[in-house]
Amino acid sequence: MTDPIADYLTRLRNAISANKRIVEVPASNIKKQMTKVLHDKGFVQGYKFEDGVNTQGVIKIALKYHPVTKQPAVVDLERVSRPGLRKYASAKNMPRVLNGLGIAILSTSKGVMTDKEAREHNVGGEVLCYVY
């Protein structure tokens, strides 16, 4: 697999479009950190890391839907930086997603964080994806 982050986002996108409650994705450290960011910002309901004996492990993600309208909390997931064309942003040129309503997930020297947290810490990094 050449782009595991794109695979992660596609699995989430497909599960949301099929109105699934739980989605399983292969685990890696960056995917675990991205899942924590999505949970902290309220885009997913919960998550569970399961380590495999001879495998890399699995992340089980419980997706979040509105209780009355059944609309998903995540409208769209968009991959920004990809293996063929990396996108970086400095602390001053940080992207704003939907004028601040969405988040950009960045991989910085201080860990994986949102665009708002990166501005507060005054660090830049690779823009992994937009979530809104």
**CATH code for the domain in which residue 47 is found:** 3.30.1490.10
Q: Per-residue confidence of the chain (132 residues) as pLDDT tens digits?
A: 799 999 999 999 999 999 999 999 999 999 999 999 999 999 999 999 999 777 889 999 999 999 999 999 999 999 999 999 999 999 999 999 999 899 999 999 999 999 999 999 999 999 999 999
Domain span at residue 113 reads 4-131
Question: Would you say 127 and 89 are in contact if contact means Cβ atoms under 8 Å apart?
Answer: yes
Question: Would you say 107 and 126 are in contact if contact means Cβ atoms under 8 Å apart?
Answer: yes
The Cα 12–Cα 10 span in angstroms is 5
Number of separate domains in the chain: 1
Question: Would you say 73 and 44 are in contact if contact means Cβ atoms under 8 Å apart?
Answer: yes
Look up residue 114 and give its two tokens: 């949102």
In eight-state DSSP terms, residue 25 is: E
pTM, full prediction? 0.94
The Cα 77–Cα 13 span in angstroms is 7
Of 30, 34, 61, 27, the residue nearest 45 (C-alpha) = 61
With H, G, I as helix, E, B as strand and everything else as coil, classify residue 104: strand
